[in-house]
Structures are given as structure tokens and as C-alpha cells.
Amino acid sequence: MKDDSRMDQKTVAVVKGLIMDGVAKANSGHPGGAMSSADFATLLYSDFLNFDPDDAQWFNRDRFILSAGHESMLLYSLLHLTGFVGMDALKEFRQMGSLTPGHPEVHLTPGVEATTGPLGQGFGMSVGFAVAEAFLRQKLGADVMDHFTYVLSSDGDLQEPIALGAASLAGLWGLGKLVVFYDSNKIQLAGPTNRVDCADIRKVFEGMCWQVLDIDGHDHGQIRKAVQDAKLEGSKPTLIVCNTVMAKGTANMEGDHNTHGAPLKADEIAASKKKLGLPAEDFHVPGDVVDHFRSRYDSMRATVADWKKNLESKLASDKDFAALWNKITTKRSALDIEWPEFTPGETMATRKAWGACLNQVTDQLPNLLGGSADLDPSNQTTKFRETVGNFGIDGYGARNLAYGVREFPMAAIMNGMALHGGVIPFGATFLTFADYCRNAIRMSALQELPSLYIFTHDSFWVGEDGPTHQPIEHVSSLRLIPDVIDLRPADATETAVCLDIAFKQDKHPSCVFLTRQGLPVLDPAEYPAVTDGARKGGYVIKDCEGTPDLIIAASGSEVSLALETAKLFKRKVRVVNICSFKLFDDQPESYKKEILPPEVTARAAAEAGRTELWHKYVGCDGVVLGLDHFGQSAPGNQLSEKYGFTPENFARLIREKY
């Protein structure tokens, strides 16, 4: 490891200059925290981070997650020094179409590992990265997968409860290759942290089974020793508490909370550059700094070459390894999955159908990792857990993730696993707790991640648990998130189809909504479209001869209700199953008009939840049987009668309108 103190200080000064210049040119951004973090972040990149200088996506690279996403100009400056981001991009910070948006975006900028904006989620995702690394290291061998996950976290990060929930799991699972730098500058946007927090972070994290190291975050000797000590600790994740000064290096504003979220003035930048020994010019990057920063590149390239050679050898000589590697590297859309079949006429809750499907794919997908938020029996993940063991507790090759009552951390950890690659993550809980996951689901969509969310107990038919556990607005709410695939299957057979759709996504997260109550397994002989119609989101499940007089649409458990209601009419009735708004809306206009002919204006819909979104299919004046109020604690069949979810009542509402 190199040790040139003068050049290290010069490099850090150049990084701080870039931070000030980038934020000032954009007239927008967060320079203070980026400058307080610059010493340890720069040394991490120049001295410790292993990556391929020629390929930002090398599989065994160390991952760096900027959980304090507002410090993005720091990351972009470092990525410029690595060669991944050009100077023009630095000068276009926060501008339309640039590679340097206000918060890092993984699909946009080379070297960015995660889209981090909402505080705490980068921390949560980093645990998912570390989970994926530990699992793949166990399965593939340390000669193929053996890297660290580094995180830059802030005071605001650790104030978000998601971070502590994820940290608790990281400690329980003994993720020794997870290293978090906590930039403890004791300042946040509105002022000093002592206004809002009295936590002793050392005690908190030590209590969650972490190694905690306290250092001066500007002392390069202490920084290097802390990273070395963290890498030597194999059984615990490490939190390096970097005690720093906000806007360190500025002439007159060190420790000032006003530097957190606003550009420095021109005179302050000029004075600060003079203090740092920088010339007055903007975006100054001298050649000796670049050479110093990249001094390890020859050895890093040699490491990558050796890794590739070893991988080729293993693929050629070890058939079992090659088969597993193929599973791990196959695109999701290319998966070939065999699903169970279900007996027509039987009654089965769709959550139980999910359980049967999960049990059948367990061996087919050896890189499937997931679990439930403390609802294993209810979410039908118990047999999966018993078959594959609990990750961390039963070893790193175990595949059940026992999340406990931590829905939000669960969702973020899933995103981290998906970002890392090589594994297929899923997580399960009750639909009413989707609210706890919601922002991470949004981040799944924003990052184009095929995370799989299993939501059971999808309506008031939860019954006696009452309104706290009976989802009303949740399906509609999740449908509002762009690029999320909503899947609400009508029966057990369609559950398998919906899961096939979800498992084969490359870029879209899926939310699968499943019932607690039993539903009739539809007979494919009578309803042939049920075996594949879900792939287009909406389809005719029961038709009439000629042009229908009435169209009844429904999703999930209400499809059976719609079918029974249709039998009460002597008119020509078409029943349409819209099990996925997203997939149906993505179909060509010609197909949508084929399913819902514009000339048929007599339309009705049924879903045990909010009614508003259904009007885009049935028209402003169409009949929608739904629920726009909270439920009650009572047996589900009694609630059906009270809320009018019976064929007789639904038919009455339609006749009154049409």
C-alpha cells in the first residue's frame, strides 16, 4: 500500500475543490458533508477499493454505496479520478440529461452501485449487497466471489429507523465483509444533531453485534488502520465512526450547518482554495494527482486477469460449478421454470398456491433467497425455511432470510441483493404492511430491479383481525408507482402464471396480491384463458356470442364473484379478468379495444378495495363494487354480506344502472 502523505493531502484538496466548483456551477447541491467525508472516501478509493479500471461492472469488484446520496458530488469527483466519469459530466452536475444527477442513479453513471436519495435506504441496500456476496462466496468459492461492501453513511442515515433495522440483521448474520463509514460531523440540514438525537452510536451498534471503531475522520493514518482492522474482522460487520468537521477545508465555514445544503459563495470558494493550496481555476485536476490516485491500476488489472483465468479454468473443469454459474448468470427472462398444477373444483387460497409454487421452485432455482417478515406460516414460507435453512444462522449457503418484523429493511435488503446480482430475492408480508415497504418498492422501480414482493391477506376477507389488518387502499396505491407490475390472480392456476411473470422480469419489480380465504380453482376446460391470459394483464375469461350487452371486469378473488354475477343476467355478458393494470395498460390499443370494445358502454367492475382506478376501464359512470372505507372485525362471510360482495347485490347494482 502506497504512503505518500503529501500527495494524499493534495488529492483530497483537489477532490474538495471539485466539490465546491461542481455545486457552485450548478448553484445547487450539498458541499458541506461531501467535504467532511472527502478524506476517508478518497483514501478508500485510492488505497483499498478493488475494481476493474476498465470495466465498472466486473463481477467480483468491491462495492461502494453512497448512502448519504446528497454527497453525490464527492462520488462523482472520485469517479472522475478513476476514469469512469469525464470532466464534462462534472461540469454538468444536476443538469438535464447529465451523468451527474443530484443523487446517484445506478443505471445512469458508471461506477454508481445504487440509486441513493431517501436516507437510510443505501444503508439497507448495502446489507443486501453483503448478503449476496456471502451467499455466492459460499456457493462459488472465495476464488470467484470474495469482495467487500463499503458504505458512506451520515447522521441523517442513522436517524432513519430502516438503517437500524437493517443493521440489526447484518449483525445477527455476521456480515464481516460489510464496512460502514459513518461521517459523524454532528451537523444536518436544519442545524446541529444534538437538537434531535442523543444516541450513543457506539453502544447502539455494539449492542447489535457490530465492531465499532472511533477515529478522527481527517487523520489519514487512523483511516488506514481502521480499514485494515475492519478487513481483519471476519465475523462482524464494522462501523467506522469518522469524527469529522462539516465543510472541512473551507476558509470561514467549517462546522457551519449552512454548508449542508447550499453552494458556497464565490469569495468563500476562492479563500478556501487558497487555504487548501489550490489554484483559483475551476475544476482543477493536475496530472500528478491522477497518477497518484491510479497508482494501483497495474496490480488491479493483474488481479482481474488472474480472476478471469481462474474462472475459465473452473468452468472448463468443474461441471457442477459450471451449472451453478449458468444459473447465477442467466437473465431472469430466460429462466425455464416448472410450476405445479392444481385440481379444478377444489378450494384453495392463492397464498397457499404461492406456497406450493415456492416449494416446487426451491430446487429449480438454487440462487433464490428470501423470506417473510415474521409471518412464515401466514405467508407460506415455512417449508422453504425448513428446507433451505436460515441464512447466517445455519451458514451462508442457507437461503431463508428471517427478517423479523422489519418490512422496510426487508424491502431495501432485497433491492441490494438484486443490485449485486447473481441471486433472485423475494420478501413476503401482509398487504396492509406494504405501507412500511412502499418507499423501497418505489426504489425497486426507479432502479429497474426485479424484486419480488409477496403480499398475502389482500382484502377485508382477513376478517376477525379487523381494520388494522384489512387492506383497502393498498392495491390501488401500489398501482400508482410507475413501472411496478401489479399481479392479483383469480385462482391457484393463475397464481402460478403470475409468479412465472414475476420471476421472469429483468427490470420491473412485481407485487403479487394473494388471498387468505379459499377460492375455487377454475377449470381450464371451461375457462381456458386462465392458464395464460395473465401475461397480457387483462383478458376475456368468459365470453358470450357476438357483441356483449354488458362487460363485468374484476381482479383476484372478485373474478369468481363476477363469473357468478354474470349467470344472473339473461343479457349477453362478457367477464374480463384484469389481474394486472400495468401489463394490460402496456398492451397495444388494438388489443385493449378488443377486450373492452368502446361501443359497449354498459360496464361494471368489482374489487375488494378502492374504486377510483377502475373507472378508467368502466367509464366515469360505470358501476364499481368496491370498498372506500375501513373494515370491521368480524368473520369474512359476514363482511361479504355487509359490504355487498355477493352476486345478488352486485347484479342489483348493475341492473339499477343499466
What does the H/E/C string look like for 633-658? CCCHHHHHHHHCCCHHHHHHHHHHHC
Taking CA 159 as the corner, what is the angle to CA 21 and CA 48, rounded to the nearest 5 degrees?
55
Whether residue 516 is annotated as binding a ligand: the answer is yes
Question: Residue 563: CB partners within 8 Å, gap ≥ 6?
Answer: 541, 542, 575
Whether residue 379 is annotated as binding a ligand: the answer is no
Class of domain 5-299: alpha beta
Give the CA diameter of the chain.
Answer: 89
**DSSP secondary structure string, 543-575?**
--SSS-SEEEEE-TTHHHHHHHHHTT-SS-EEE
Residues listed for the chain: 658
Whether residue 433 is annotated as binding a ligand: the answer is yes
Mean pLDDT, the chain, rounded, equals 97
End-to-end CA distance of the chain: 80
Over the stretch 435-486, which tens digit does the pLDDT of each residue have? 999 999 999 999 999 999 999 999 999 999 999 999 999 999 999 999 999 9
Per CATH, the number for 535-657 is: 3.40.50.920
* Mean pLDDT calculated for residue range 167-173: 98
Over the stretch 365-412, which tens digit does the pLDDT of each residue have? 999 999 999 999 999 999 999 999 999 999 999 999 999 999 999 999
Tell me what pLDDT residue 4 has. 87
* Of 392, 372, 391, the residue nearest 382 (C-alpha): 372
Q: Quick one: cell of 399?
A: 437461503
2 pLDDT more than 70: no
Whether residue 156 is annotated as binding a ligand: the answer is yes
Tell me what pLDDT residue 99 has. 98
Whether residue 70 is annotated as binding a ligand: the answer is yes
3-class DSSP state for residue 470? coil
pTM score, whole prediction = 0.98
Question: In whole angstroms, what is the distance from residue 417 CA to residue 502 CA?
Answer: 16
Contact 65, 116 (CB under 8 A): yes
Tell me what pLDDT residue 68 has. 97
Number of DSSP helices (H) and strands (E) in the chain, helices first: 27, 19
Letter for the amino acid at 467?
Answer: P
Q: Alpha-carbon dihedral of residues 619, 625, 630, 633, nearest 10 degrees? A: -170
Per CATH, the number for 332-520 is: 3.40.50.970
From residue 643, give the alpha-carbon distance in Å to each of 554, 608, 626, 634, 649: 16, 9, 8, 12, 9
Tell me what pLDDT residue 605 has. 98
1 pLDDT more than 60: no
Whether residue 119 is annotated as binding a ligand: the answer is yes
Question: In whole angstroms, what is the distance from residue 630 CA to residue 416 CA?
Answer: 34
Q: Quick one: cell of 89?
A: 459530466
**In this prediction, what percent of the chain has a pLDDT beyond 70?**
100
Over the stretch 288-329, which tens digit does the pLDDT of each residue have? 999 999 999 999 999 999 999 999 999 999 999 999 999 999
Q: Quick one: cell of 60?
A: 467480483
Burial classification of residue 97, based on how many CB atoms lie within 10 Å of its CB (0-12 exposed, 13-18 middle, 19 or more buried): exposed
Whether residue 200 is annotated as binding a ligand: the answer is no
537 pLDDT more than 80: yes
Whether residue 55 is annotated as binding a ligand: the answer is no
Specify the domain boundaries for CATH 3.40.50.970 within the chain.
Answer: 5-299, 332-520
**DSSP secondary structure string, 576-627?**
EEE--HHHHHTS-HHHHHHHS-TT---EEEE-SS--GGGHHHH-TT-EEE--
Tell me what pLDDT residue 3 has. 61
Question: In whole angstroms, what is the distance from residue 156 CA to residue 141 CA?
Answer: 37
Known catalytic residues are: 407
Least confident stretch, 2-16, 259-273, 413-427 = 2-16
**DSSP secondary structure string, 300-319?**
HHHHHHHHHHHHHHHHHH-H
Paired with 523 in beta bridges are none
Whether residue 187 is annotated as binding a ligand: the answer is yes
